[in-house]
């Protein structure tokens, strides 16, 4: 076995790299081919990057919720479209063995005035109990006591928009005020979450201030219920008991299920999720077409050489190997500028939108694999003429 492996490696080293020699012989054609592959990679990487930012930005708050189980209305569409349910369900959940606490969370999409430009912006605002941290975020939790003063807010300084002047003034001790529902609000602390595809940023205030701004909501109707379990309690078992114990006017999710629900909403129930998937598919198809055109032209240009190989006794598989070698070379080399340009575009997008667009190793590896498959498909299609070509006919 070792001898066979050694012989294979030796034959591979002695093999003439015909695929590379043919590609590098025509420098202009090679540049066009690599540009096509890079363009297809950029299309796929950008769409995947936007899709990843969509999911990540949508669940940044979800992932840090101080809860093991989440109660929500059956009419809930996503975090920005929550329907209220009775606070009584939180009290009922305390009857279940294993439940330690059940806290209400109020949330709504708030229209607020920019502190300096006075233009309206849409923010996701949470009403919370300052004595009960609702998220595992030190930058929020250490400032919750400041919300005990009426009409005060914590502001997401990574929100979409130009807040530089206001933030500089705040850093110098100047008051930072705004308006929500015609009421003056003072910003008493900053945190960093960032924007999403549905909201420019986030705000946190006390339950009392929240209900003062939205008196029609009422304290008896809550947006979400945050359930924490006692140490040692079984998550799945307690979740099942809660589902059986509580009426049908409330849904019971584990935290992971709640996160998955949000992602699934954006992936399947919104046009933007479909558009991103379509964009990835179109990038793949465009790449197949572009690489096919290059390889097909290369095959036609060297048809007599291929016919000579056939006349010398080389198999169709050998000729196919040459073209597929070219395809893999194009895929690997073309991927390098594609991922480099995409990384720069990610940075520009992140700076302009505050969305979490970042290159990941898994995404880059997946697109590289897709690029190789894309180029192999193009190479296989480009060699169709060789299968039926008779050396005698060509000469």
Strands 224-229 and 99-113: antiparallel
355: three-class secondary structure by DSSP: coil
CB neighbour list of residue 52: distance below 8 Å, 6 or more residues apart:
356, 357, 358, 360, 363
Strands 99-113 and 120-128: antiparallel
pLDDT at 10 (0 to 100) = 47
Q: Which two tokens stand for residue 343?
A: 């990384």
User: H or E element: which one contains 153?
Assistant: strand 152-156
Task: Convert the pLDDT of each residue in 331-388 to its tens digit.
Answer: 899 999 999 999 999 999 888 877 888 898 999 999 999 999 988 888 888 777 665 5
Please choose, from the candidates 381, 374, 393, the residue with its C-alpha nearest in 3D space to the C-alpha of residue 296. 381
Helix 361-382 and helix 316-353: axis angle, to 10°?
A: 140
Task: Convert the pLDDT of each residue in 284-298 to its tens digit.
Answer: 888 888 888 877 877
Q: What are phi and psi of 84, to 5 degrees?
A: -75, 155
Say if residue 12 is exposed, middle or buried (CB neighbours under 10 Å; 0-12, 13-18, 19+).
Answer: exposed
Q: Supply the mean pLDDT for the chain.
A: 86
Please choose, from the candidates 33, 9, 35, the residue with its C-alpha nearest in 3D space to the C-alpha of residue 22. 33
Domain boundaries, the chain: 17-57+271-394, 74-249
DSSP conformation letters of 112-146: EE-TTT--EEEEEEEEE-TTS--BS-HHHHTTGGG
């Amino acid at each position: 076995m070792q001898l066979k492996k050694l012989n294979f490696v030796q034959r591979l080293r002695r093999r003439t790299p015909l695929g590379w020699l043919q590609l590098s012989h025509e420098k202009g054609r090679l540049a066009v081919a690599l540009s096509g592959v890079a363009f297809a990679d950029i299309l796929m990487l950008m769409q995947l990057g936007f899709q990843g930012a969509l999911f990540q930005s949508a669940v940044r708050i979800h992932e840090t919720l101080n809860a093991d189980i989440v109660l929500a209305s059956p009419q809930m569409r996503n975090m920005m479209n929550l329907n209220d349910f009775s606070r009584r369900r939180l009290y009922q959940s305390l009857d279940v063995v294993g439940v330690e606490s059940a806290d209400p969370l109020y949330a709504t999409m708030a229209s607020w005035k920019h502190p300096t430009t006075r233009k309206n912006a849409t923010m996701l605002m949470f009403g919370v109990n300052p004595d009960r941290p609702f998220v595992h975020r030190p930058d929020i939790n250490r400032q919750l006591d400041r919300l005990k003063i009426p009409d005060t807010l914590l502001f997401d300084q990574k929100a979409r928009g130009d807040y530089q002047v206001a933030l500089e003034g705040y850093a110098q001790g100047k008051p930072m005020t705004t308006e929500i529902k015609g009421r003056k609000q003072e910003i008493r602390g900053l945190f960093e979450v960032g924007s999403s595809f549905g909201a420019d940023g986030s705000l946190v205030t006390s339950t009392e201030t929240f209900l003062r701004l939205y008196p029609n909501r009422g304290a008896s109707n809550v947006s979400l219920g945050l359930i924490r379990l006692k140490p040692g309690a079984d998550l799945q078992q307690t979740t099942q008991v809660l589902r059986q114990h509580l009426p049908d006017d409330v849904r019971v999710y584990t935290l992971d299920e709640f996160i998955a629900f949000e992602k699934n909403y954006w992936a399947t129930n919104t046009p933007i999720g479909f558009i991103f998937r379509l964009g990835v598919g179109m990038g793949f198809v465009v790449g197949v077409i572009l690489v096919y055109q290059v390889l097909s032209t290369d095959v036609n240009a060297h048809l007599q050489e291929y016919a000579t190989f056939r006349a010398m006794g080389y198999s169709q598989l050998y000729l196919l190997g040459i073209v597929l070698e070219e395809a893999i070379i194009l895929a690997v080399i073309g991927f390098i500028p594609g991922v480099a340009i995409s990384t720069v575009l990610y940075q520009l997008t992140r700076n302009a939108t505050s969305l979490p667009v970042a290159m990941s190793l898994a995404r880059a590896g997946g697109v590289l694999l897709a690029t190789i498959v894309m180029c192999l498909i193009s190479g296989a299609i480009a060699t169709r003429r060789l299968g039926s070509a008779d050396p005698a006919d060509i000469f």
